[in-house]
Structure 1
């Protein structure tokens, strides 16, 4: 299905290109809130016939517009409605929990014309896991709908004893309605006269209440929130049109994906199916946003801390101190039929929580947040040593315990993603290479904070841990023949030696010596790993390689972004530039210049090849061009030490980049970089941080 999706906070609306919800469509379009589909059918008709689509636009992801017209209509040899004589314009957005839609019909027939416009609604209140075919289970029942001239209410009582309601209101008096959700409006318009049908649809769970505003007031407030967002984020301008569009698109999409569960705004994973808190996805997206809006990282950290594991619960793969993988709010979760309340089956979210906190403090100097979350920090560190390291060998491993959980618990979580060079799948417990890098990064950074706060014993212990981990990692993961690191260690501590992108994440941790960092960087931009549009997840020629596979040969923008920033940090800037250039080129292949969740890893000839069910917009894909900016600048602040390091290197075609109002510490910096004949000239336009720039 070529879909259109808009979102605001935790409500999203997924339709076809006409703006309709075809009933029983396998893709699962609908109006969703809290993992429940509140609208499962939504058809617009003229004289009981489907209109013809002229244009469909949802490039902003918070506002959509479709233009349609009527087909030719005759009855008994007489023209009932001449073709393309009526324009039907649909405009929609979501604000404060309510969907607002306007359907404006305009007559272009020379004479007065009469016709009917009808809307056909239904709600099945299905849990998202049922809609997507992942799960069946005990569910509740529909109650009788109520319809009057002003609107209708469709009600449902779930198996969790929670009342769910879709309340629909319209502005005109219909000529007739049915209890099946059919609403008919009569229109009689002179030439170029128009009439607007305004709809509001409010999904509610339990005793929630939503204040419905006039359409114009709701839209004005929504636009104001976007203006405030733009004013609060770093502004970037470049001479490169495609890169500029990527940056602007990324910032806009991340604003759409922000949600607040009461602890501050954080990015959900992506649309349409992952508009919920995700441990690693939300944490990495917040990390990508640090140079642009560090408050998002703060909201993400506090949200994750609020759901941190407190007990041993194998049903949910929960352990004390563990950061969640995913939380769901629907009927199946509430009744314990799925373990997502939340589910904790992720090996990397806990160290990434500490990584994000440390990087947030380096950007902001906000030690108050560390003090607020210190118990969460200690619990996360304890989890790494007591539960993450399952066998006491110094490495963090995963093994699925939940019967309905996830087998592979790194970011490459498909069942075939951990594969040996002989094609055999690795058996758990699995110790992923990138996770050891996250743990090193987390412990080294936390040691620095504890030292700063005067807790030298804790700092010394963490520092000793990092030295041991570094030595063990080199001994256990390095593959001399490939001059590269293994993907993982399996249950027998044998190397899973397939050449993949995973070790590229270790570059950012600081754990690799410079010569090894260069070897890793060189491999990742070699013909084996680099498609021309980006770094593949798995090297061409490996036993498991498949350019169409979800994790074994495709290109994931977020994967590239973490690698690119690590390349920049380890002074492998030419390799970073090459990877960026490919992804920038690829953007022409995708709608609205939006990098998708992933795309196929074929060699770059013509257009990049779409992956069929990639989420778009996806938070960490939207954040990818934002990390490009940091990598291009070679910008690594440390507000705790009152230093800012800048070492710019611009990719081919990018000859100028300007940064305005980037927040570091309690001040801002503005700067520009210009490239001429390979030389980079840095000009600091403003620096109110009080920190020296080196």
Structure 2
């Protein structure tokens, strides 16, 4: 992106306000400090006329600005914009589409000003501005205080409400954490807040929108990963993901949107341009969302048997499983041919999948982690029993054998990122094979090699987390999107996989690195990704991408589950809850209360005594199904 930064007020894939800025004596002024509390930001301004504070509070349906001790001559200027999110990102332009931009109309209405924009999609986008000060129309809106204080409200709906009541209910239902590591506790609590801020419309919808500002919409893959991350922490989020995505399950073949029967949607947009003149109104270009949907559906049924998903979800899961198995039966692996998006895994930037000499792969492209997701989907579907169980297990076993044979590279002594259509390997060192640990798709010897590469400070371990691309690779760039930065969600899946395979030393290193990054980032949360420079001296990681971002916020919960070593499986004689904790060296005690397990609430307390870990657990609410606990 070039040009102005993407600041503004966004609503429904539209930047409705381009600027909301303060001037003093006709000179723009900037804050000198900022503090965050809940869903409010308080800015401090130090000027030649004295100091004042500005508090911005985000509410459902709008925002509220409050200035205290405003100096004489202060002016707040608000500029309506109504640019589509794809315009802001530089993805499309009105000139290229031949779509002129209508002019927003401003009119006085009662105690405020109504801003009305009728888009070329015939949809009206409207907001109202109210203030206790003076409001004038001057190439936009200007608000000035009548006295020392100024309040301005931007109202996007007829009714606004503060999130405090709903947030209180959310936190009451969310498992509580205590530990002798304050950093883990702070990361957990701030992540819970960040994730809540991205929920679509609780308590009516608990669906996690992907991230602010670029991806504040339905994203299939992102939301499914969040579903796994929150499965034991807020299962209504997981269920909401399944329910929403099931309404977008592919029904037909559409080459424009890349829809296919049984395929799970990648992205859904509602903007004036993005929601009408691009394939992204409902775009299906992802190879991994469908196996992730199938896997989450069956994992949810195993973890929460007393809350079965509805028939629409069940039907979508059947269709998704058919899509996965048909692709594997036809091609041997799960792959894709580049479409609107050239790369269709989670690393979907144009330059993220390549051969070691930098050349692109010839389609179709088979990503290593997508095969792991498919294997996981097949195994979990088989674990639920039924007529297809044996056939699905055989497919899963055969797929795992093929992953090992086809993707393992003797040249780099590691798994390749991908195969191309001619069977050539992309022999570069990436984080992608780490997802095979999460999906459980490799034997222990191969898993050990993956764990070693991921934790190697000369390869992928930055000291602040696992990087997307190795230090020595041709396209390495520590501040790039997918070629050398660190993604929290990526690390959370890797850490969960390390826990499952029992690699405690590597888990210790990566958890410590992630928490170190949380502290060094200095934003009281995890961004979408951050720079992947080596952790040394005074060099700190740089926040990059969106913030908050749903699967970045969800990372801490999956990491917490990995530390506790909790898993749920379904056996012939009921359900099995396993607790095999791996406390990092920085922790001596971790207690998590009221985890959502089998319809009950599980409290786990792990304490290090000498060289041993002592585990105490209690179901504060008993499950309604037959189960046993293994520690």
TM-score, scaled relative to structure 1: 0.84
Match of 2:377 in 1: 442
CA displacement, residues 92-147 of structure 1 (integer Å, 9 cap, x when unaligned): 2232312222223367xxxxxxx344332221211111122221131441253213
Indicate conservation of the 8 Å contact 1:586/1:608, yes or no.
no
Q: Does residue 364 of structure 2 align to residue 429 of structure 1?
A: yes
Distance 1:148 1:260 in 2: 28
Q: Which residue of 514, 522, 531 corresponds with 1:591?
A: 522
Computed over aligned residues only, the root mean square deviation of the Cα atoms, in angstroms, reads: 2.4
Secondary structure of the structure 2 residue equivalent to 1:555: coil
Indicate conservation of the 8 Å contact 2:531/2:543, yes or no.
no
Q: Which residue of 19, 44, 58 corresponds with 1:67?
A: 44
Distance 1:671 1:594 in 2: 25
Indicate conservation of the 8 Å contact 2:247/2:312, yes or no.
no
Superposed counterparts of 1:244-283, under 5 Å: 244-260=185-201, 264-283=205-224
Distance 1:648 1:236 in 2: 15
Distance 2:223 2:611 in 1: 37
Distance 1:500 1:201, change over 3 A: same
Match of 2:290 in 1: 350
CA displacement, residues 579-617 of structure 1 (integer Å, 9 cap, x when unaligned): 111111122221233222222222210355445642222
Match of 2:605 in 1: 672
Q: Which residue of 549, 555, 561 corresponds with 2:486?
A: 555
Q: Give the number of aligned pairs.
A: 620
Q: Which residue of 197, 203, 212 corresponds with 2:150?
A: 197
Superposed counterparts of 1:227-238, under 5 Å: 227-238=168-179
With 133-142 and 363-372 compared, the bigger mean Cα shift is at: 363-372
CA displacement, residues 260-302 of structure 1 (integer Å, 9 cap, x when unaligned): 4998312122222111111111111221112211110000111
Shift of 1:535: 1.5
Distance 1:52 1:263 in 2: 38
Unaligned stretches of 5+ residues in structure 1: 2-23, 72-82, 108-114, 189-194, 204-208, 213-217
Shift of 1:492: 0.3
Superposed counterparts of 1:121-132, under 5 Å: 121-132=78-89
Distance 1:418 1:143 in 2: 43
Match of 1:397 in 2: 335
Q: Which residue of 447, 455, 458 corresponds with 1:525?
A: 455
Distance 1:350 1:674, change over 3 A: same
Superposed counterparts of 1:119-158, under 5 Å: 119-137=76-94, 138-147=99-108, 150-158=111-119
Match of 2:350 in 1: 415
Q: Which residue of 143, 160, 181 corresponds with 2:140?
A: 181
Distance 1:446 1:681, change over 3 A: same
Distance 1:478 1:185 in 2: 66
TM-score, scaled relative to structure 2: 0.92
Shift of 1:378: 1.5
Indicate conservation of the 8 Å contact 1:263/1:302, yes or no.
no
Q: Which residue of 489, 500, 503 corresponds with 1:572?
A: 503
Match of 2:122 in 1: 161
Shift of 1:469: 1.0
Q: Does residue 99 of structure 2 align to residue 99 of structure 1?
A: no
Match of 1:339 in 2: 279
Indicate conservation of the 8 Å contact 1:600/1:608, yes or no.
no
Indicate conservation of the 8 Å contact 1:264/1:300, yes or no.
no
Match of 1:15 in 2: none
Superposed counterparts of 1:5-154, under 5 Å: 26-51=4-29, 53-58=31-36, 60=38, 62-71=39-48, 83-84=49-50, 87-105=51-69, 115-137=72-94, 138-147=99-108, 150-154=111-115
With 620-629 and 639-648 compared, the bigger mean Cα shift is at: 639-648
Shift of 1:166: 2.3
Shift of 1:365: 1.6
Shift of 1:187: 3.8
Shift of 1:152: 0.9
Secondary structure of the structure 1 residue equivalent to 2:474: coil
Distance 2:622 2:9 in 1: 45
Secondary structure of the structure 1 residue equivalent to 2:31: strand
